[in-house]
Amino acid sequence: MIPLSLLRDGEYAQIITINGGKLVNLRMNELGFNSGEYLKVIRNVGGGPIMVELKAGKIAIGRGVANKIFCERTFVK
């Protein structure tokens, strides 16, 4: 498992767990970041937010939150 923040542009991953507090977990679930979901990293450069594609939508999340989302790399969605 690795944090979402370490994935590179174009990589696919499956969400395993979110190690945030109660409010972070609730907000991520509302946005669709649930265990077992697949995502694709659209943009992860520099120190800004990370853009991901999740459930046919694009979402930007901050690096601090991305460090709390643990994933496993996959090759296909």
Q: Which domain holds residue 26?
A: 2-74
Rg of the chain taking only CA atoms, in angstroms? 11
Distance CA 67, CA 76 (A): 22
pTM above 0.85, yes or no: yes
User: What's the token pair of residue 64?
Assistant: 């601090």
Number of domains making up the chain: 1
Angstrom CA distances, 75 to 3, 10, 70, stand at 17, 10, 16
What pLDDT was estimated at residue 77? 62
Average per-residue pLDDT for the chain: 93
CATH of the domain at 45: 2.30.30.90
CA dihedral of residues 18, 33, 60, 66 (deg, nearest 10) = 10
What pLDDT was estimated at residue 67? 94
Residue 44: how many CB atoms within 10 A of its CB?
A: 20
What would the pLDDT profile of 34-56 be if each residue is shown by its tens digit? 999 999 999 998 789 999 999 87
